Each structure stands twice: as structure tokens, then as C-alpha cells.
Amino acid sequence: MNIKGIIFDSEFHFKTSRSGGAGGQNVNKVATKVELDFDLVNSVLLTEEQKAVIQKKLENRITNDGILQIIVQEERSQLANKEIAINKFYKLLNDCFIIIKKRRPTKPSKGSKERRLKAKKNNSEIKKLRNKEW
């Protein structure tokens, strides 16, 4: 399953509001906070399998109505926040479909065991020489 090449911009819904934090008087008069809503359940660009994977991996970001929400208020301009929200959306979706390799447990090789024991013996000899009764 892969979502590369799919452009979701037509299914985005943006809401703007006043954001908190730094910005001085700008915060009080300009709606720079951007909320990107993506209706996952009613998306025509995704297959049912893709929707299920996204629903499972991003369940804490999806509302009960099946809407994926991304809220950004990092920048002082609405356009910059909108671009950040879109980039976050695509990164989230790409991360959903990365397959993590299962770790295979390994054992240390014979040579590495010998080197470790040799280093321990060498260290022990050095410490013995520090003793006053040599």
C-alpha cells in the first residue's frame, strides 16, 4: 500500500482562528491559527484498506466523525501555518505506510567474545599493578 503521487488538496477543509502565544498586537487581530480537517471516512482518493491503516495508526488524531485534524499555530502568518499543516498531513500519511522491519536477535561472534575477555584480562592486569603489594 502506498499513497505517493496522490494529491489530497481537493479534500482539505481549512478553518482559521486567532492563535495564542507570541505575536504582540498581531495575535489580537489576525486569524493565524490554521486547522486542517480531512474527512477520512468520505475520502474518494483512498481505498478501504488505506483508510483502515490510517484509522488504526492515527486514532488519537481522528475525531468520532472520522475527521483527521491537524492544528498549527507556529508562525505569525496564516499562509505559513497552512503550508506547515499540509506538510504535516503528508508526513503523517507517509509515516503510516512505512513498514518497520522486525528485529532478528543475534549472538556475539566467537571473535568478539575472545576480544572482550582479552580486554577484561588486560584491564585486570593493569589494576593489579596499581596495588601496593607488587
Per residue in 23-64, pLDDT tens?
667 667 778 889 999 998 888 888 899 889 989 988 898 989
Q: Which domains does the chain have, with CATH numbers?
A: 9-96 (3.30.160.20)
pLDDT band at 97 (very low <50, low <70, confident <90, very high): confident
The pTM for the full model equals 0.69
d(CA 32, CA 126): 66
**Average pLDDT over all residues of the chain:** 86
d(CA 22, CA 123): 56
**Better-scored residue on pLDDT, 94 or 27:** 94
pLDDT band at 116 (very low <50, low <70, confident <90, very high): very high
pLDDT score of 45: 86
pLDDT score of 76: 82
Mean pLDDT for 97-109 is: 91
Torsion of CA 88, 89, 91, 95, to 10 degrees: 130
Segments in 38-98 forming alpha helices (H): 48-57, 78-96
Quote the cell numbers at residue 86.
499540509
pLDDT score of 84: 93
The per-residue pLDDT for range 71-87, each reduced to its tens digit, is 998 888 889 999 999 99
